Amino acid sequence: MNIAFDPAAAVMDLPRRDALDKLTGRTRYTVDLIGPGMLHAIIVRSTVASGRIVKLDLSKAQALKGVRAIVTHADAPGLHGIGIADQPLFASDVIRHHGEPIAAIAADTEEIARAAAALVEIEVEPLAPLLTMAEALEPGSPLIHPGWQDYEVLFAGAARGGNAAWEARVVRGDTDAAFARPDVTVVEDCFRVGRQSHVPFEPRCAIASFEDGRFHIQCSTQVPWTVRSITAKVLGVAPSRVRVTVPAVGGGFGLKFDCTIEPVAAILAKKTGRTVGIRNSREEEFLTCLCRENAEVRIRSAVTAAGEIAGREATVLMDCGAYGGEQIFLTTMTAHTLGGNYRLGSVKLNSRAVYTNTPPNGAFRACNGVYNTFFLERHTDNICAAIGMDPMEFRKLNVLGDGSLGATGQVFQGDVLRPMLERMEAFRDEVPDRRKAAGNRLYGRAATVGTWFVFVGPSSATVNLNIDGSATLVTSGVEIGQGTMVQAMPQIVSAVLGIDPADVIVKTADTDASGRDLGVGGGRTTVSVGSAAKMAAERVREQVLEIASEMLQTPSTKLVLAKGRVEIAGRPGSGMLITEVIRRAEAIHGPVSGVGSFTAPGQPSLPGCAAGHFIDAIDIPVFTVHDCEVAVDPDTGHVEILSYKVVQDVGRALNPRAVRSQIQGGVAQGIGYALHEQITIGSNGGIEQPGFEQYLLPLAEDVVPVEIVLHEGAPSIGPFGAKGAGEIPIMNVGATVACAVSRAIGKPVAELPLTPPRVLSLLRGKDTVGSLDHISWS
């Protein structure tokens, strides 16, 4: 059956339906639901980074009036993880990081629970912690996980051993031959970045109950199905025994792409027979926040005088902290971010996740890509300086285009990046530069490119057509503030069914009501959940047109759905309200509904190129070009952003207003990473920035309005040609600011963030990174 309709009908500047409630404080988040009538839980955490638990005495805490239950490793002995199951819910006999959970207490009030925590007696035999990746990789260093070989391997194929938790490798072509060529210049660099904290305004929190043999967890999460499966694994129950529902989520940025405190609430709920609420304090969030990981790289390229990149080799070290966690998966990204942007004659990349005795790290918006783009684009500028080529011309010469071979051997489709660079050049020429605004300060300007990709993976959707002409969309998609569930999803369903988007009801995520979903992250919701929703709506559309065809005695191919009516094409007013068709359909067949599903179709890569990768080739590449002007005060090292421009590949912008908002927000967050947000690890292994007094976020005066061009038309398998737009805006900010600052001060920049003291060190000719000799090429 022909069910064609105009894709442009899905494009609109639909406002957020939840905006007023959020602005006026009426929205109820999970953290708002924790209150009277339930028990309150807190976690007893380690105050050392490494040690053996000699004694754990809970008796005084258990005797405190109002304490209802205390749980430890004995109550949840299972291990969980990504790729390898190496992480316990509670430390058993070994402590591996400062802040590691040792026990959890449920009491009548949070105050009683905290008082009980102070009564827990823990005796620890301290061990010397390994707080840096260099220390962890030093020959003869103690193993943070002596029993690493005994861990369950959940995804095979990676190199592992010692304090290297996981290594993903790419080898394509002969790099040895490339570097041996007599006509190449070899450029070698080392770079380093620190951690970044997500700081969503709602902390991690959960409410759990146990009834009729099943757990029900309400939580602030991006991944309800991950919470379901990990909770089941560590508690040793079938996943069907766990139901997860998600109220409004107060931000995530990747922090809530993991499962941390939810199983704790669940096990306490079962033990007490009561509903249990748990929430992190702001200090706990900072100290255990699953930061964007600190990382280091050694990278070298063999480049001809004409600008051809004959070969590239790099090794990236990613600090996963005490447990593998999401860094195991994120090693995959290096092939597509550090190995992206440019055509390479040959390439060898190693991406190594390293255990240290520090708090575990996790996913953060454009995870891995933010720092790998900084590494790559600063290296690119250094190449241009070495061979004497203009940086913009070098980029236009070498960027990926139609038919280009990626690092893992996949063939890219469409000429996207070069036209985007040309558009940026024209964009820059439309207005005068801000050099005069720099005054007596040092002025610099730079443009960079970036390659990201949409995580696709499984999603499902059901659309129920209601008797009043509205539609209910049921998915596991989560609205975390990005707007997808309140803008793109109603737009997609309404465009297919010809109804007002205000008449599309979007249900909040419930694992009992919706099919499995990978979760919200990687820019995947519009693509994956949107594609499933579009398919489900199309199946509803088929049923409506079939019934309407009989009622109007007109072939369905000549019918259109628009404005809540079914009309004969070209004859307005010839049809009927959709509600009439629904009533007829229910009388004949019953309620009208449709189910849709979507998953990654899978792009081919060259066999044997990639090992240890969860994603060998990318289904939907997303590209971006950023341009930045800066002024640097030579006396203080302060960096001011004078202007910021973005040309972003969006496929088709279903909601240009929402996409522009994501770009503005992503750049603001990236400015924090580039200039302000610094996390350090103290001698005790703990994070030294426990609050906003120490962790400096960008303020309103630090952020500039972003000038934006949406580049449309690049190939995409997303609904109506859409691509994810929320991840990539942050990706190039650190790189672009760093390149601009380097040009302003005439010194190489090899480390972020560019705080005033660090910039002053660079101005005085100090190398802040060094040679990073602990990073091997193989």
Give the model confidence (pLDDT) of 267-314 as tens digits: 999 999 999 999 999 999 999 989 999 999 999 999 999 999 999 999
The pLDDT value given to residue 86: 98
- The average pLDDT across 21-32 equals 97
Taking the C-alpha atoms of residue 747 and residue 444, their distance in angstroms, rounded to an integer, is: 12
- Give the DSSP H or E segment for 126: strand 121-126
Read off φ and ψ for residue 9, nearest 5 degrees. -65, -20
Closest by Cα among 428, 279, 299 to 351: 299
pLDDT band at residue 6, thresholds of 50, 70 and 90? Answer: confident
For 604, counting Cβ atoms within 10 Å of its Cβ (0-12 exposed, 13-18 middle, 19+ buried), the class is: exposed
**297 and 315 in contact (C-beta within 8 Å)?**
yes
Beta bridge mates, 298: 190, 315
Taking the C-alpha atoms of residue 343 and residue 341, their distance in angstroms, rounded to an integer, is: 7
Q: Give me the amino acid identity at 140.
A: G
Which residues, 6+ apart, have CB-to-CB distance to 516 below 8 Å? 225, 458, 460, 476
225: helix, strand or coil: helix
pLDDT band at residue 2, thresholds of 50, 70 and 90? Answer: very low
595: helix, strand or coil: strand
> What global pTM score does this model have?
0.97
Cα-to-chain-centroid distance, residue 83: 18
- The average pLDDT across 454-477 equals 96
**462 and 594 in contact (C-beta within 8 Å)?**
yes
The pLDDT value given to residue 107: 98
Taking the C-alpha atoms of residue 234 and residue 152, their distance in angstroms, rounded to an integer, is: 13
The pLDDT value given to residue 687: 98
Tens-place pLDDT, residues 470-491: 999 999 999 999 999 999 999 9
- Both tokens of 500, joined, read 């007002």
pLDDT at residue 5 is higher than 90: no
The pLDDT value given to residue 602: 84
pLDDT band at residue 166, thresholds of 50, 70 and 90? Answer: very high
The pLDDT value given to residue 4: 60
Cα-to-chain-centroid distance, residue 287: 20
- The average pLDDT across 513-527 equals 94
pLDDT band at residue 59, thresholds of 50, 70 and 90? Answer: very high
- The average pLDDT across 689-699 equals 96
Read off φ and ψ for residue 65, nearest 5 degrees. -60, 135
pLDDT band at residue 702, thresholds of 50, 70 and 90? Answer: very high
166: helix, strand or coil: strand
Tens-place pLDDT, residues 566-613: 999 999 999 999 999 999 999 999 999 999 999 988 888 899 999 999
Which residues, 6+ apart, have CB-to-CB distance to 584 below 8 Å? 547, 551
pLDDT at residue 340 is higher than 70: yes
Q: Position of tokens 């820059």?
A: 428
pLDDT at residue 364 is higher than 70: yes
**335 and 158 in contact (C-beta within 8 Å)?**
no
**556 and 548 in contact (C-beta within 8 Å)?**
yes
Taking the C-alpha atoms of residue 230 and residue 85, their distance in angstroms, rounded to an integer, is: 10
Tens-place pLDDT, residues 141-156: 999 999 999 999 999 9
The pLDDT value given to residue 289: 86
Closest by Cα among 492, 489, 482 to 520: 482
pLDDT at residue 759 is higher than 90: yes
pLDDT at residue 1 is higher than 80: no
